Structure 1
Amino acid sequence: MNVYTKIVPDEFDVPLLVYGNGFILQPLSPKYANIDYEAVMESRPILKDIFSDDWPDDIKSWEDNLRYIEEDYSDFQQRIGFSYIILDPSESRCLGCVYIFPSLFEGYDVAIYYWLHINILNSALAYEIETFIRKWVQEHWCIPHPAYPGRDIPWPEWLQRERKTFAGTIANSTDVSK
């Protein structure tokens, strides 16, 4: 069970199809499981540096990846997290993904993570996508204070905040089993 609340109000029109210059964003759903899995596996060497956690090391199979996609799609439908696949214009190739998740930290409304396929890194298209994501969030989402962990905020700093937050949560919780 997810304990997060909605990160956008009910009246906010969540984008379902977004066209960029040379790419398309759509909600990451099970229908994209094949091309997403292929892109994750091909880009695995660089993803660990971007996300600094167990993902994608814990993806051992197509089915494991599908479970992640199903969870993300459920979060999208509940408006508690938004995962988008970045597609080429023919919608046959995954160029990466964008994730908009609640932030646990004061001062940030959401944490925005994204990765790009290893084959487009350091390209004009990669620059176009990265620039587009920030502008799109700023102009089209009702999110005044986004965080970009691993990009604007170094991973060690973000992870240290995370550890402090979880340690404080555990220390302040009460044992109701007594």
Structure 2
Amino acid sequence: MPFENLEFDVPEGLATDDFVLRPIVTADAELDFAAVMESRDYLRTWEQTSWPEDDFTVAANREDLEKLERRHASRQAFTYTVMNPAGTECLGCVYIMPTDARMFAKARITPVGNRRWDDYGAAVYFWVRKSRLATETDRVLLDALQTWLARDWSLGAHLIVTNEQFAQQVDLIQRTDLQLRFEVEEPDKPGRYLAYE
């Protein structure tokens, strides 16, 4: 069911000793741009596109963030920026998508086991800037997300989604107790997305 049809309070975010998670806004464009461009090689693998292009600009990023901010406000999908506690550095992003989003309607979704896709309310994607991988900020974020989604959200069951070609994130997820539930193949993309519960 689309998020806009569900009655629940959208959490304002999450603050930990390591980071602050809050809705992304257009004013985050420069800090977000720095994180995106530092991490562009693996983001292209994660996205299975050429985004961000080498000539991507802060202005283009600002336009992207305007769209994400509007989608968040209208409850179509939720995007949170991950900031350091001081708010001076973007560490990554979290995207919470409804499982009936258009991108999934066009995809071939194959269960691994006896689960059904429509039993899940949300698909959650995340990335952490490249320079923070060595300090396992991605692991800290994933652990915090699991607790936050279960405690503060009313979406029912959710899936953590990554791309099979993003080996670093696949390895991270497989070192947790999350289990592979679905393989998702989007048209015109070379690799599968893997959805874990």
TM-score, normalising length from structure 2? 0.70
Relative to structure 1, the CA distance from residue 148 to residue 58 in structure 2 (aligned partners, 3 Å threshold; closer, same or farther) is farther
Query: Which residues of 2 match residues 14-163 of structure 1 at below 5 A?
Result: 14-57=10-53, 60-104=56-100, 106-107=117-118, 108-150=120-162, 151=170, 157-158=183-184, 160=185, 162-163=186-187
Q: Which amino acid aligns with 1:91?
A: G
* Distance (whole Å) between structure 1 residues aligned to residue 31 and residue 69 of structure 2: 16
Mapped to 1, the partners of 2:96 and 2:122 lie a distance apart of 6
Q: Which moved more, 1:130-139 or 1:24-33?
A: 130-139
1:130 Cα deviation (Å)? Answer: 1.4
> Computing the radius of gyration over CA atoms, which structure comes out larger, 1 or 2?
1
* Alignment CA distance shift 1:43-1:21 (3 Å): same
Q: Where does structure 2 lack aligned partners over 5 or more consecutive residues? A: 105-116, 163-169, 174-178, 188-197
Q: Verify the 8 A CA contact 2:40 2:51 in the aligned structure 1.
A: no
TM-score if structure 1 supplies the norm length? 0.76
Return the offset for 1:50.
2.3
More strand by share: 2
Structure with higher helix content: 1
The residue type equivalent to 2:86 in the other structure is: S
The residue type equivalent to 1:125 in the other structure is T
CA distance in structure 2 between the partners assigned to 1:5 and 1:59 by the alignment: 35
CA distance in 1, matches of 2:99, 2:141: 23
- Determine helix, strand or coil for the equivalent of 2:147: helix
CA contact (8 A) 2:17 2:85 kept: no
Unaligned 5+ residue runs, structure 1?
164-178
